[in-house]
Structure 1
Amino acid sequence: MYAAMKPRDGRSALRALAVALLMSTGAGVASAQNQPTVSMAINQSPWLNSFVAMVDQYEEETGNVVELDVSPFGGLLEKIRNSVRAAEGTYDIVNVNSLWLSEIYSGGFLAPLGDVEADYKLPEGVLSYGDTTNWDTSAATFSADAALMGVPVNGNVQVLYYNTDIYEQLGLQPPKTWDDLFANAQKIQEGGEYYGFVPRAARDSIVYNFTPYLFSHDAAFFRITGPKQAEVTLNSPEGLQALETYVKIATEAGPPGPGNIAQGELIQLMATGKGAQAIAVIAAWGQLEDPNASRVVGKINAALLPAGPGGLVASSAGHWVAGIPKNVAPEKQKAALAFLDWFAQKERQVDYVRAGGVPVRGDITGADLGDNTAFRFIDAYSQNAQHAVMGLPFAAAAEASDAMSLSFNRAVIGELTPVQALNQATADLAGVLERAGFTVSRLPDL
């Protein structure tokens, strides 16, 4: 039922796995039987097999069929664009990465779920990841009070990873604040055996990695002030404090060359045991627990990200939301929503975690999953997911991230002061917003 992936016998094995999982009865929209076949454009990813297992389980329980068309990450967006712009869509469900949500929502390509089924709402307990399931057309941004546009299908937020062996050796506790994190990192670094903290400060990822620091300091890249109106607030005093904290932790208690460390290098340093702490996406958990790729299996735990000076916590959202295009038949739209609603129910999300997926609910705990230590990440994931934010909630988010990343990276490697970096990044962000059609105001330079 799915393309560009595995032969049929691979899917049969996954079907066997799904049947062995906890079976549960349907609820709400998804309880309907005899739905037409629906097709879904989805990405090749570490969590794909767990999603396939859930599709198999859905088919076993309902008799309905979901066909998956699997593409590499780099090719999926183009498939989605082509399908939603056509007179008649190829896909009944499109899986949209958080970076693309603003573009797809703002284009008016998706059917609001309340139009597919009157007054439909996400099941209680499903996370909105910073209100990114809802879109305000007039303000051109996400809003909890706006139309519901999609159902999350995989959660991917940042968590704090720490090596429990190293913590125990030094008598450390998981940090509550950024100052606590830095103090732990310094104490670890003093021994000379481990890196106290591993940043992710390479240009391709620094904006995403910096976002929790910024928002936890009660700051933001910009704020929507009206329809197509924005104020760039990045270079506020709070923003400066956030960047100074980021640069200090990245440069004073970690590996040399922090400006060159991207996600792959971060995970490698943690997996080899050289890195003691890091902030990374929850999707890295599987690699750190893989005995074929990691020397620290069973020695890593996850925690809530540190809070800023006022007690605020933020985690960068990096999730996937499934939407239903407007350009498919109404009966296909209803069948698509039936599957997505079924998938979002708590019992199915527990099954999803057991199959290796990352849940999209904030109410799944270790108790729901039993005493298997492989699921010890779940509480930290749920806590961080409830604090997820979208740092750049507009259609040109990718361009804005690229524009700011150079200045932030130069601050880490010492070519710019934090003040200089913030002023330049603010100017670059304002330019992107203006080109995107916003009327822009900005704070004066620091």
Structure 2
Amino acid sequence: MLRACAAAFIVAAGAGAALAQSQPPITMAINQSPWLNSFVAMVDEYEKETGNKVELDVTPFGGLLEKIRNSVRGAQGAYDIVNVNSLWLSEIYSGGFLAPLGDVQAGYGLPEGVLTYGDTTNWDAEAGTFAGGGALMGVPVNGNVQVLYYNTDIYAKLGLQPPKTWDELLANAQAIQNEGEAYGFVPRAARDSIVYNFTPYLFSHDAAFFRIAGSGKADVVVNSPEALKALETYVKLATESGPPGPGNIAQGELIQLLATGKGAQAIAVIAAWGQLEDPNASRVVGKIDAALLPAGPAGTVASSAGHWVAGIPRNVPPEKQKAALAFLDWFAAKERQVDYVRAGGVPVRGDITGADLGDDAAFRFIGAYSQNAQHAVMGLPFAQAAEASDAMALSLNRAVIGEMTPAQALNQAAADLAGVLERNGFAVTKLPDL
């Protein structure tokens, strides 16, 4: 267990603090991460302000899900709060392991301004998917969405502007590639991450992997004409204006290419910002900015969600549930979220601006983060998301490395996705092959 110990931040007491008085101690399962220290700082401030105690059980990412599974399935839970990654949300929600927050405190809703990341804080048990009208299951504790990163020095030299459409991004990438100073665009097309990275292209073209058609019913639509246009754009960016071997580039390689100045543009998670601004790890400190992802043909913008949501298990006593919600409600208040950003965290609100943070250039990412977070989507909103992603990744990767045409790749991805859905009890319809 890790006791919260970090520099305290002076924050104003608000409604959340009033709800948090005189609560029993609680324990939270949380991941070891670059933003852990910032979260610990807020826990430390909560304890100082309220006198309540929060104990953190910190676990490496790879072991946290198993700890959560074991705790929520037991007769008595070991944790009063569990920190759930976006990839695991549908599994934990669908299992009925968490107490809806409206049951913990009658009528409770997220404070205005808190982001839901594509309604992933709410679950419709009947439909088996995320839905804004479903039960509120948790409070986000760290936001992580994709943004467009670009090198401002290169943009200024070539007279470029941040792109508003995919065609404009393609044009910028080609201009940079032709100039020869850096790669025009860096993809993230390795098999372990291509589905996540492709999601904004797909959804901004008003397409999807599949759609829930009712209880236990799914329509596989990843091989639609709109999806084909999205994948053609993805492959064009990856192969015509990027580094050699685009199918081997994962998140680490992408960030390194940006940080060394060899890559001029990329779509990556906002969590990469800290590394790009770290003088010990980056040659482009102060030279990278972030923007809203490009819009599709009809003006739709989408960003892949990669956030964390804190939930309260059913198998802990009611007094512990109430104490857990009191802390989460306190944490979500705007003034605490401002301090969270100052401590190095990624906020979970869309109403924090540069004005809230002062004129420190280190926080210039906030505008782009907030914009993209409001367009966050979950590409595979069902319990077997990881299995489905792995099934489709091979075909998408083969399109990038030239072993399949985009149409062939999407047809195969549709067949593989349909198989996963059918094996997990869905009645599936599928579009005809392209």
Q: TM-score, normalised by structure 2?
A: 0.99
Q: Are positions 1:45 and 2:33 aligned together?
A: yes
**1:26: Cα distance to partner?**
2.8
**1:30: Cα distance to partner?**
5.4
Instruction: Work out which of the residue numbers 71, 76, 82 in structure 2 matches 1:88.
Output: 76
Regions of 4+ moved over 4 Å: none
Could you tell me which residue of structure 1 aligns to residue 389 of structure 2?
Answer: 401
Q: Are positions 1:231 and 2:219 aligned together?
A: yes
Could you tell me which residue of structure 2 aligns to residue 424 of structure 1?
Answer: 412
Task: Note if contact 1:152-1:320 (Cα within 8 Å) is conserved in structure 2.
Answer: yes
For residues 328 and 80 of structure 2, the distance between their equivalents in structure 1, rounded to whole angstroms, comes to 11
Could you tell me which residue of structure 2 aligns to residue 67 of structure 1?
Answer: 55
Q: Are positions 1:272 and 2:249 aligned together?
A: no
For residues 144 and 125 of structure 1, the distance between their equivalents in structure 2, rounded to whole angstroms, comes to 15
Task: Note if contact 1:30-1:337 (Cα within 8 Å) is conserved in structure 2.
Answer: no
Q: Are positions 1:201 and 2:189 aligned together?
A: yes
1:110-164 C-alpha deviation (Å, 9 max, x unpaired):
0000000001000000000000000001100000001000000000000000000
Counterpart mapping for 1:100-111 below 5 A: 100-111=88-99
For residues 142 and 228 of structure 1, the distance between their equivalents in structure 2, rounded to whole angstroms, comes to 14
For residues 290 and 256 of structure 1, the distance between their equivalents in structure 2, rounded to whole angstroms, comes to 26
For residues 122 and 425 of structure 1, the distance between their equivalents in structure 2, rounded to whole angstroms, comes to 37
Task: Note if contact 1:29-1:337 (Cα within 8 Å) is conserved in structure 2.
Answer: no
Task: Note if contact 2:20-2:330 (Cα within 8 Å) is conserved in structure 1.
Answer: no
For residues 221 and 245 of structure 2, the distance between their equivalents in structure 1, rounded to whole angstroms, comes to 29
Task: Note if contact 1:30-1:339 (Cα within 8 Å) is conserved in structure 2.
Answer: no
Q: Are positions 1:349 and 2:337 aligned together?
A: yes
**1:29: Cα distance to partner?**
7.3
Q: Name the SS of the counterpart of 2:235 in structure 1.
A: helix
Q: Name the SS of the counterpart of 1:161 in structure 2.
A: strand
Could you tell me which residue of structure 1 aligns to residue 129 of structure 2?
Answer: 141
For residues 146 and 281 of structure 2, the distance between their equivalents in structure 1, rounded to whole angstroms, comes to 21
For residues 216 and 154 of structure 2, the distance between their equivalents in structure 1, rounded to whole angstroms, comes to 49
Q: Are positions 1:435 and 2:418 aligned together?
A: no
Counterpart mapping for 1:170-185 below 5 A: 170-185=158-173
Task: Note if contact 2:139-2:310 (Cα within 8 Å) is conserved in structure 1.
Answer: yes
User: How many residues are treated as equivalent by the alignment?
Assistant: 434
For residues 73 and 435 of structure 1, the distance between their equivalents in structure 2, rounded to whole angstroms, comes to 28
For residues 185 and 10 of structure 2, the distance between their equivalents in structure 1, rounded to whole angstroms, comes to 39
For residues 311 and 224 of structure 2, the distance between their equivalents in structure 1, rounded to whole angstroms, comes to 36
Could you tell me which residue of structure 1 aligns to residue 141 of structure 2?
Answer: 153
Q: Name the SS of the counterpart of 2:208 in structure 1.
A: coil
For residues 28 and 354 of structure 1, the distance between their equivalents in structure 2, rounded to whole angstroms, comes to 20
**1:32: Cα distance to partner?**
3.2
Instruction: Work out which of the residue numbers 242, 257, 263 in structure 1 matches 2:230.
Output: 242
Q: Name the SS of the counterpart of 2:296 in structure 1.
A: coil
For residues 32 and 191 of structure 1, the distance between their equivalents in structure 2, rounded to whole angstroms, comes to 58
Could you tell me which residue of structure 2 aligns to residue 373 of structure 1?
Answer: 361
Q: Which runs of 5+ in 1 are unaligned?
A: none
For residues 30 and 95 of structure 1, the distance between their equivalents in structure 2, rounded to whole angstroms, comes to 24
Could you tell me which residue of structure 2 aligns to residue 126 of structure 1?
Answer: 114
RMSD: 0.9
For residues 126 and 221 of structure 1, the distance between their equivalents in structure 2, rounded to whole angstroms, comes to 27
Could you tell me which residue of structure 1 aligns to residue 300 of structure 2?
Answer: 312
Could you tell me which residue of structure 1 aligns to residue 239 of structure 2?
Answer: 251
For residues 371 and 355 of structure 2, the distance between their equivalents in structure 1, rounded to whole angstroms, comes to 15
For residues 33 and 53 of structure 2, the distance between their equivalents in structure 1, rounded to whole angstroms, comes to 21
Q: Which runs of 5+ in 2 are unaligned?
A: none
